[in-house]
Amino acid sequence: MSKLPDVGTTIFAVMSQLAQDCKAINLSQGFPSFEPPAELIDRIDHYLRSGANQYAPMTGVPSLRRAIAGKVARMQGRSLDADAEITVCTGATEGLFSAIQAVVRPGDEVIVFDPAYDSYEPAVTLAGGRTQHVPLAISDNGFDFSIDWQRLEDALNDETRLVIVNFPHNPTGAVLSAEDLRQLAELLQDTGAYLLSDEVYEHIVFDGKPHVSALSVDELWERCLVVSSFGKTYHATGWKVGYCMAPEELSAEFRKVHQFTTFAVNTPVQHALADFLQSNPAFHERLPAFYEEKRDLFCRLLEDSRFRLHPARSTFFQIVDYGDISDADDVTLAKRWTEELGVASIPLTVFCEQPFTGTRLRFCFAKDDETLEAACEKLSRL
């Protein structure tokens, strides 16, 4: 008997395989088409040739944990104990999985916000928990998503063990403000619920807006596990190196699971990342402008098309509305356009318990200009 009877192959694998089979331009799965910084690759090569090829400490290479602590102190004003409160994990996916397994018990409820990244609910199910889906509110323009505070308050109950937030948000690009986080802290203050904050796109926020982390709010930090990743920041999703930050007691529980999920993470890459964080502390500060230029190009190329869109506020994904072109459901259309048009995307309804996103698709613009131009030329024919 399957432990995940309702789970099939993830939509990201399905659409990427379809794109490959159809020789389509793949704007579905979220990976960049450009290489990591040359200096970072050089540091990996150095450590590969310098004996750093055995197991790293279970909690992560100390120099990397210290570098992460320094970045968090500079950006979010949170002083972390690098030894007790930071754990390096095998990408954000393992970090999220281990965090959920660490705190969720059989019968517990876990709140997620739809559209919700698809790795959350299977991990909750494997922990014996129940996932409660709370739809995000949608603005009148159909593109700005936000937490519906009344619906969240109504969903919280004595069995709520964990609330999972993902901001900057995949797939919608929504962001949280400092006021949003204060409101979240107020709603959780009289509950026994923990908070899991998925912040892998923390350095890709546009239009001069800062990323405000759950790390920055004392009332949230005391009940919080924050997961982030180097893959999105350094154009290196295939390296699968992420990290989890949590108060000492929660980190201890996280590590109990982490040590048996993966134990140690790629040693030479950890050392190289530590060096690069020290020598290039401002690299991530240039990332918003880099991706904002990609976003603006993608939107500009579709200006004369029949799609409706509003420039994404964060991440490297753009939501488009195809309602003026077709009334087909988004899953059918995403597959059809991959096969017939030659451009792959991700349908939004797969992120939702109840379809509410209408005629919307997600496109990844973390690609070179030539790829974006070729894709938009095809899309503009519709």
Domain with residue 343: its CATH number is: 3.90.1150.10
Same domain for 254 and 305? no
| pLDDT given at position 11 | 87
Residue 6: inside a domain? no
Same domain for 290 and 270? no
Rounded to an integer, the average pLDDT of 152-176 is 97
266-289 confidence digits (pLDDT tens): 999 999 999 999 999 999 999 999
Q: What percent of the chain has pLDDT over 90?
A: 91
Rounded to an integer, the average pLDDT of 110-131 is 96
The Cα 212–Cα 168 span in angstroms is 9
pLDDT above 90 (res 140):
no
Same domain for 343 and 242? no
pLDDT above 80 (res 125):
yes
Amino acid making up residue 326 = S
Same domain for 16 and 63? no
Residue 3: inside a domain? no
Same domain for 44 and 184? yes
Residue 361: inside a domain? yes
The Cα 149–Cα 310 span in angstroms is 24
Rounded to an integer, the average pLDDT of 16-36 is 93
pLDDT band at 356 (very low <50, low <70, confident <90, very high): low
Give the count of domains, the chain. Answer: 2
Last residue of a domain, one of 279, 306, 324: 279
Last residue of a domain, one of 215, 245, 279: 279
The Cα 245–Cα 83 span in angstroms is 11
Rounded to an integer, the average pLDDT of 132-152 is 93
Among 154, 72, 174, smallest CA distance to 114 is for 174
Last residue of a domain, one of 216, 251, 279: 279
pLDDT above 90 (res 135):
yes
| pLDDT given at position 1 | 86
pLDDT above 90 (res 215):
yes
pLDDT band at 355 (very low <50, low <70, confident <90, very high): low
Is the CB of residue 110 less than 8 Å from the CB of residue 88?
Answer: no
Same domain for 225 and 357? no
Same domain for 21 and 48? no
Residue 5: inside a domain? no
Residues facing 226 on adjacent strands: 197, 245
| Arithmetic mean of pLDDT over the chain | 95
Neighbours of 213 (CB within 10 A): 24
Q: How far is CA 329 from CA 317, 340, 355, 358, in A?
A: 20, 16, 10, 8
Same domain for 356 and 207? no
Same domain for 240 and 348? no
174-207 confidence digits (pLDDT tens): 999 999 999 999 999 999 999 999 999 999 999 9
Same domain for 247 and 166? yes
Neighbours of 318 (CB within 10 A): 25
Same domain for 74 and 183? yes
Residue 100: inside a domain? yes
| pLDDT given at position 202 | 97
Residue 340 structural domain = 11-30+283-379
Residue 74: inside a domain? yes
| pLDDT given at position 227 | 98
The Cα 263–Cα 236 span in angstroms is 21
Range in 10-19, 126-135, 247-256, 359-368 with the lowest mean pLDDT: 10-19
CATH number of the CATH domain containing 224: 3.40.640.10
| pLDDT given at position 357 | 61
Token code pair at residue 214 = 């759950």
Long-range contacts of 112-116 (CB under 8 A, 24+ apart): 112/164, 113/147, 113/164, 113/165, 113/166, 114/351, 114/352, 114/353, 114/354, 114/356, 115/145, 115/171, 115/172, 115/348, 115/351, 115/352, 115/357, 116/164, 116/166, 116/351, 116/352
Token code pair at residue 153 = 């308050």
| pLDDT given at position 379 | 97
Same domain for 241 and 274? yes
| pLDDT given at position 358 | 78
